[in-house]
Structure 1
Amino acid sequence: MSLVRVLVLEPSELDPVGPLGDWLRDAGAELEIVAPAEGPLPPLGDYDAVVCLGGEMSASDDAVHPWFADVRKLLAEAVSARKPVLGICLGAQLLALATGGQVRAGTRGPEVGPLLVAKRDVAAQDPLFADLPFTPDVMQFHSDEIHVLPPSAELLASSPRYPNQAFRVGACAYALQFHIETTPHVVARWCENSPESAAAARPGDVDDGRLRSVHEDIAETWKPFAERFVRLAARYAGSLPGDPPPPRSLPLV
């Protein structure tokens, strides 16, 4: 398998690609990490897949972050071209907006700390989610919610507070409302920068020992998920046996 070229969008320096980048590289990916706020995005055609990470900003705040429009356009183009996409937290919300979904301020307050999400039945047939545990560990740190899924999206995982935790739109574009790329240090930094959000965590859940323990569990579960994402991208790029079906057009929102 030749190296899979992955464009990684880092909207904020507070959310680097972290261990997720190591997992992708170990699986055979070559990453190009781009900060979309700093200049034009590279052409989508240069890459086999796209990862869009999180950030402290609101996904609907184009007035403050006008480059959001360029990110949404690239994500919509990737969905239409059947290039695998992985959107995480803010990235998931931008993917939802790019493909016809809706995002709003969370009506039940911030969701913060190590928590579980539950796979939906349809996830048993999904190439990335099928092998996940029924209730995988994740890291939550968000105040906005994906209120309405894009048309034809398949909901893959939920939680009691905010049901739209993971979905697939199109053939191979995935959105995770939660985080899998963090480290204890990164989460501690978020808590320092957003003490009001951190106060929503359960007692002890953002203590150092608890964060170290849950990140070990996250790595055990989500590193294989990242490997499956790279294999999926390789197959769609034609570097693994079994070519994907021809592209179909989706509206760019």
Structure 2
Amino acid sequence: MNRARPDTMAPEVLVVLHDVDDNLGELAPPFAEAGLRIVMWDVARDPDGAPPLETLDRFSAIVSLGAYAGVTDESSHPWMTHERRMLESALDADLPVLGLCFGSQLLAAAAGAPFRPSPVPELGWTRARLTAAASADALMAPLATAGDEIDVFHYHFDSHDLPEGAVLLAETDGIIEAYRVGDSAWGLQFHLEVGLATQLAWIAGARHVFAREGLDPAAHEQLSHEHWKAYRDHTHAVGAAFAEQVLQRHAQR
């Protein structure tokens, strides 16, 4: 039986997976629908699979996902040094980048922004305020159609300063929620990629953490049931917008 061969001319997106329970999730469908080829690097289970820096030009974009590790743990995670250098190279080359939660923090570090703990842990559902710049931003504009504030799903204790020259796109009480570096690199502190099933799994596995922080996990489970469809639609819209940036970059090669 003949098997279809992959389209080697399709734009390739390198997705850096740090923990198996935080994968590309709801962003995978809009990427695939746009014709992008997703290439995964699992830093924990395939440490030797790291793409060499000199081969990064095969990719048309990089997506960096969430992680249990933080940017201050780099000395104990060799993959983090390599990934940070990849992001620095991507910024230098104006390659489209999307960082989510930890990925956002590592992107900020690659852009020279200092680390800082989050003023408060953000767990489960919070509301982020979009800045005026968001409505004109190539990636965030689909979210701006929902109003000045959006419901977003979090799980983080760390944060960072705004990289020099970056554009702030969303914030919550002084916490940077979204920003853009240059014209084609975005960091989102919230987990846009996480769908309903994963949200519920994360909450179930961290009930003691929610309780420790004075949060009711059952209330956040309820919010997941209320918000999941709108959140999925937002994710697909942002994913399609990022895919368009990738296609444009690929066409310029």
What is the TM-score with the length of structure 1 in the denominator? 0.85
Q: Give the aligned CA root-mean-square deviation in angstroms.
A: 2.0
- State whether structure 2 residue 235 is matched by structure 1 residue 222: yes
Question: Cα 1:19–1:62, aligned 2, differ >3 Å: closer, same or farther?
Answer: same
Query: Which of 66, 71, 76 is residue 88 of structure 2 equivalent to?
Result: 76
* Aligned twin of 1:251: none
Query: Identity over aligned residues, as a percent?
Result: 29
* Secondary structure in structure 2 of the residue aligned to 1:101: coil
For 1:41, the aligned partner's letter is A
Query: Which of 173, 178, 183 is residue 166 of structure 1 equivalent to?
Result: 178
Greater relative contact order (CA < 8 Å, ≥ 6 in sequence): 1
* Aligned twin of 2:62: 50
| Residues 14 and 63 in structure 2, CA contact (< 8 A), matched pair in contact too | yes
What is the TM-score with the length of structure 2 in the denominator? 0.85
Once residues 68 and 208 of structure 2 are traced to their aligned partners in structure 1, the CA distance between those partners, rounded to angstroms, is 13
* Aligned twin of 1:39: 48
Higher helix share: 2
Gaps of 5+ in 1: 245-253
TM-aligned CA deviation for residue 137 of structure 1? 2.4
For 1:30, the aligned partner's letter is R
Q: After the TM superposition, which segments of 4 or more aligned residues of structure 1 sit over 6 Å from their partners?
A: none
- State whether structure 2 residue 134 is matched by structure 1 residue 127: no
TM-aligned CA deviation for residue 182 of structure 1? 1.0
For 2:209, the aligned partner's letter is S
* Secondary structure in structure 2 of the residue aligned to 1:86: strand
Count of matched residue pairs: 235
- State whether structure 2 residue 232 is matched by structure 1 residue 232: no
For 2:57, the aligned partner's letter is G
| 1:191-230 → structure 2 map (5 Å cutoff) | 191-199=203-211, 200=213, 202-203=215-216, 204-207=218-221, 209-230=222-243
Task: Show CA shifts across 1:170-220 (max 9, x none).
Answer: 22000000001113332333334444432337433332x432332212112
Query: Which of 120, 127, 133 is residue 116 of structure 1 equivalent to?
Result: 127
Once residues 136 and 123 of structure 1 are traced to their aligned partners in structure 2, the CA distance between those partners, rounded to angstroms, is 12
| Residues 119 and 175 in structure 2, CA contact (< 8 A), matched pair in contact too | no
Once residues 15 and 197 of structure 1 are traced to their aligned partners in structure 2, the CA distance between those partners, rounded to angstroms, is 18
